[in-house]
Structures are given as C-alpha cells and as structure tokens.
Structure 1
Amino acid sequence: MTDHTPADPELLYSEAEGDLRAAVRSLLADRAAPADLPGRAEDPGAHDAALWKALAADMGTAGLLVPERLGGQGASHREAAVVLEELGRAVTPVPYLTSSVIATETLLALRAGDLLGELATGRVAVLAVPLSAGPGHEPATTGTVTGVADAARADVLLVPRPDGLYAVDAAGATVVPQTPLDLTRPVATVTAGTGGTRLADAGAAREAVRRGLLAGAGLLASEQLGLAEWCLEETVRHTRERHQFNRPVGSFQALKHRMAQLWLEVVNARAAARNAADALATGSPEAPLAVAVAQVYCSRVAVHAAEECVQLHGGIGMTWEHPVHLYLKRAKSDQIALGSAGHHKQTLADLVELPAPA
C-alpha cells in the first residue's frame, strides 16, 4: 500500500461535509420533500423564495465558493458538491447550480468582488448561455440566447458578447419562458440588449466562462449522484414493502440482480463525482479530465437509476402523483446539460490524444 500524498484525490467525506449534508437534508425534508414535488411542479414558473433564502442566505450555502473577505464561507467545491448531492436527492427547484456554482465561478475568475458578495447573500446571477453549453462553448454573436436555465429567477444576467462579458440587470432584459422537459429547472429565451456593466474583455471573458462551465459540469455530477442514490433507495424500499405471491417483490432473484447492478453503478458514480469535486477544489491540472470522466459516467447512471425506479415501481411509477417521473425528467435533462456525453468523450479523446469513438 502506498502512502497518501497531498496530490492524491481525497474521495471520502470529512466530518464538516457530513454536518453540512445533515443540515441541508433536514431543511429539504421540511421544505421540499420529494412527496410534495409533483404538486409544486404543476406551476413551473413558481419560485419558492423562502426556501431559497433559507438555503442560500440563512444557511450560507450560496457563498460556499466565495472567499470570506467578500462575505462568503471560503469553502471549496467539495462542500458545494455535498449541497448539490442533497438537492439532487430531492430534485429541488432552486438556482443553486446556475448561480452559486456557474455564475459564482465565472465571477471568481474575474475577481468581481462586489457581485460575488451579493451572490453570497442569496442574490441570483445566471450566465446567459444555453443549458446545453459545455466547457469550451463559444458564445452566440447575436443578442438572443435560447435555453438559459433559471433566467426567470435571475436578478443579474452575465452576458457574453464579442467584446467581453457584461453584467446586465435582469429587469432590463427580455426573458421569455420556454417549455422544459424538466419542470423543476425552467429555461427561457433571453434578449439582453446592449446595456450593462462590462466586467472583462473578450479574452478574459472567454476564460472565465470556460472556468464557470467546467465547475458547473463537474459539480453537476454530484447532483446526478444524489438523484441516482435516491432512486436506488426508493426502489429498494418499495420492492421490500410491495408483495406478490405472499413475498416481497424485492426477494425475487431477477430484481435482486437489477438492484445489485444499480448499486455498483452508483458506487462508481460516487467515486467519479467526488474525484471531479476534489480536482476542482484543489485546482488540479487534471480537473478537465476528471470532469469529463464524471460527466460521461454519472449522466448515464442517473438516467439508468431513474428508469429502473420507474419500472420497478410498476403501475404507481407511471402516475403523475409519484415523484419518480420528475427524477427521470431531471436525469434526462441533465444528460445533455453542460455538454453531452459525446462532447465530454471528445474532450477525453483530446486530453489523452486518442481518436474519439465514432
């Protein structure tokens, strides 16, 4: 056995991360339980401002990536990943990934202290790029962008333009809601016009956007992990309680094998997601590789877990009243968010200098 060195990835959770998980899970159990999700999703435009305030401002999770001197917590991507795991478990409709990770990381790259301090208090900023945009995305040259996640919830829009990145008050932009597959993460078409405050020139803006999208893609894997864990646990619970032929259906060998296979996939997804979060937290030069691996693997596992959850719940899994259909929709939406699997496979191929799969 080799000794652990500082360069080795740390995949285990610390005591502080465990305490953070317990606090976030307790809040969501009280305010955003999965059983209540179908009713809340009936109104995709609704935004639970009280829940966001409790999570982002009162608990301080919005400022985890923001340095303490700017009013944040001075934590790291590891702690933000724990929050996203819990938000994924409850498919919570809050703009944490878009504002507290992607927008915050973009502003960190630009050292935009004033805006970062505002985001740490729960103000919402959204990077005006399509939800499907992965690291390396080239911003549109037109003033209208479609598929921008959480734009309707934003106070500030970070708008990439050919000459740089601008901060635009959302009240002065045109935001037209679109019909999303995932009702818990609304998307919209954004037209920001020509106003706003210039934050960076074109070169700095390009690098900042790349950094924001890289962090978003890496920590999206933790959201996918949390979603897959809930689906597995809910499936095991249901098949233990549901009886056929006077036996729990979970005791049938065919179902045991399917759940055992899913458990193995979730364990591997946890390793990939934690590796990506740790690489981002430590500023590892291998972060792009870790992020690409995590997205290629975790996106598939989340979809598989949600599909198995629907199927093994039988008839109830197909009803609108059970929340599992919203987990499947979030998993499918996340599968193409922040770069598709094909995009990340191409990234992997480029990084290791091997031909990408056709």
Structure 2
Amino acid sequence: MAVDHTEELRAVVRAYLADRPGAPWQAFARELGVAGLAVPERYGGAGCGPAETGVVAEELGRALSPHPYLQTAVLAVEAVKAGGDEAAMSRLLPALAEGAVTATVVLPGDGELRLESGRLTGRVPYALEGEVVLVYVEGRLVEAAPSGHVPYRTVDESRPLAELVFDGVPVRRAGDGRGWERVRDLGVAALAAEQVGGAQRCLEMATEHAKQRRQFGRPIGSFQAIKHKLADVLLLVESARSAALAAHRSAAHAAVAGSYCTEAYLTASGENIQVHGGIGVTWEHPAHRYLKRAGSDAQLFGPPQAHRARLAATVLEGAALEGAG
C-alpha cells in the first residue's frame, strides 16, 4: 500500500515542533523546507500545492506555533506568484523559499493607501509581522519599506500584529494586482487548516482530562453531560476538517471554511476550558492560549459573518447567471 506523502510530512512537522518548540523560523524553514512548499522548483521551492501547505498549517495550529508561516509561505509566496512579474519572482521567491526572510501582505481594504509619483503614503492599522512588506494598491502589487512600524501588545501573543505607516516611501514593483482575491482565499484556506489543528488539540486535551479527572468516584468522562460536549466537539472538528480541505477549490469553498472553521475553533477552545473547570483558566494551563488564538483568528480575514456575506453574494450571483441563461 502506498504511503500518503502528506501524512509523512505531517509526522515530520509534528515531531520537529514537539522536539524543538523554541526553534527560530529560519531553522524551522531551512531544516524542513516548509517555507518553499508552494514555491515553484525553478525558484528553489518544492512546487507543491494547498494539500501540503495545509498540512503544515494544521500542525502549526495544533502546536500553537508563532512561526510566520501564514503570511510568509502562503500569502507572500502566492501574491508574488500571482503577480506574474519575472524580476520580482526571481528576486523574492528564492529568499522566501529558503526562509532567509519573512514577509507580510497588505490586502486591498486593510488600510488607507495611495500611490503618488511612485511613492506610497498611508496607514495600515493592523498587519501581520514580516520583514518584507508587499502591498496591493491601485491595481498593483508593490514592495515598500514602512517609515513607521508600531508593534502591538496583543492578547494572543502567538500572532504578532503591528501598525504600518508609509510616509511617501518609494516602492518597487512586485507584480500585477489582479489576482489578490485568490491570494486572500488561499490565506483563508491556510488559516482554516490552522484552526482545525487548534480545535483538534483542544478536543484531545479535553478528552484526556475527562478520562483522568475523577468526581464521585468516577472519571468525569463517564458523565452524560461531558460525553455530549465531547461528541459535539468531535463532530465540529471533523466537519471543519472537511471544510478546510475543500477551501482552496473556489471562493465559495473558502468562504464556507472561513465561517465554519472559525466558529468550530471558538467552540472547541471554549468547551475545552469548560471540561477542565477551574484549572482551564489558570495561567499555567495552555487552554486559555488556544481560546485567545481562536479569538484573534476570528478577526484575521474578517469575522464569520463577513465570510457568510461573501458566500451569499457568490451564491446569488451564480443563481442570477443561471436564471439569465
């Protein structure tokens, strides 16, 4: 029987994160080659697709890793590829694939920005951290160095955010800006995989505790109320996994995953704390960190309501085209 290469990749990433949880991004990216999974081979990458990047994202979410994989290996790589500028791809993709630099992407609507005579002005109130900043502005993708960078002290310290200020800074062409919707959707798909990984770990922690914690002479997992909680979370996690696996197929699938996986993670992380009881809200236990990550993830590409609104627009547009036909 053939071995699924994605499961081999999962095992390697999981073992690395368990053995070296404090390893820096450069070491993680270089030693496992994960930063270049979606980079074409001619630029030093592996030429893989969403199935492979999703496995890594899921394992990072399970470990609650702070590695900038989402913005660097998914958003930035996909933005540069979609931009189609050969000079930009030759300049940026090899460094991204090697893990030599981190990067972030400012999508349309993330800030108030304008280009004047080849210089970028404006402010991005919330951006994922990255050394290289790629900005979609006025139909173009450009590389720009912020004149101001103010990191936030966030509740979820595993996902650093910063304010970026551009005060007439020069820009460098990085590609065409027409493919940004697809880049966003691939980002939503990778985030959905992260959320599945986090929700799965919450379920595992809650199940382990329910087997070990005893009340009235019995494990609390034998009580019907706890059984129902865990069964409901299991259903959510498995359904979310299916949504995440399909998220890269189309904008509609990405919107479904963005909505469902976000709410599944919020529920799983909350129920994990409920099953643990008082210990679940102590600073020493990791349960609260998963709840914080679930909350921050719920705002990253917009809340579940925004994804559902986008899905509704896509469905209604499709229905209108069918009716016209």
**TM-score normalized with structure 2 length:** 0.89
Return the alpha-carbon distance in structure 1 between the equivalents of residues 241 and 106 of structure 2: 30
Give the letter for the 2:36 counterpart.
G
In the alignment, the residues of structure 2 paired with residue 181 and residue 14 of structure 1 have an alpha-carbon distance, to the nearest angstrom, of 41
Aligned ranges for residues 224-243 of structure 1 at < 5 Å?
224-243=195-214
Which residue in 2 is equivalent to 1:28? 17
Correspondence for 1:68 among 36, 41, 45:
41
- 1:333 aligned residue (279, 289, 296): 296
- 2:190 aligned residue: 219
Measure how far apart 1:213 and its partner are. 1.4
2:102 is aligned, of 124, 129, 137, to 124
**Per-residue deviation, 1:55:** 2.0
Letter in structure 1 aligned against 2:184: L
- Unaligned segments of structure 2, at least 5 residues: 114-120, 318-325
Deviation at 1:160, TM superposition (A): 2.9
Inter-partner Cα distance in structure 1 for 2:270 and 2:102: 32
Query: What is the rounded CA distance, in whole Å, between the counterparts of 1:139 and 1:310 in structure 2?
Result: 35
Aligned-partner residue type, residue 158 of structure 1? L
2: CA distance between counterparts of 1:306 and 1:101? 25
Contact 2:61 2:196 in 1 (8 A): yes
Q: Which has the higher contact order (CA 8 A, sep 6+)?
A: 1
CA-atom RMSD, angstroms?
1.9
State the match for 2:68 in structure 1.
Answer: 95
Q: How many residues align?
A: 304
Secondary structure, in 3 states, of the residue corresponding to 2:261? helix
Q: Which has the higher strand share?
A: 2
For the structure 1 residues 264 and 353, does the alpha-carbon distance in structure 2 shift closer, same or farther, using more than 3 Å as the test?
same
Q: In the aligned structure 1, how far is the partner of 2:282 from the partner of 2:105?
A: 35
User: Between the two proteins, what is the percent identity of the paired residues?
Assistant: 41
Instruction: Go from structure 1 to structure 2 and tell me whether the alpha carbon gap of 1:18 and 1:208 turns closer, same or farther (over 3 Å shift).
Output: same
Matches within 5 A, 1:112-191: 112-113=88-89, 114-122=91-99, 123-129=101-107, 137=109, 140-141=112-113, 142-150=121-129, 154-162=130-138, 164-169=140-145, 173-191=147-165
Correspondences of 1:189-338 after superposition (within 5 Å): 189-193=163-167, 194-200=169-175, 204-205=176-177, 207-277=178-248, 279=249, 287-338=250-301
| SS, match of residue 353 in structure 1 | helix
Separation in 1, partners of 2:141, 2:198? 33
8 Å CA contact 1:217, 1:339 repeated in 2: no
User: C-alpha separation between the residues in 2 aligned to 1:334 and 1:63?
Assistant: 24
- 1:24 maps to a residue whose letter is V
Q: CA deviation at 1:340?
A: 1.7
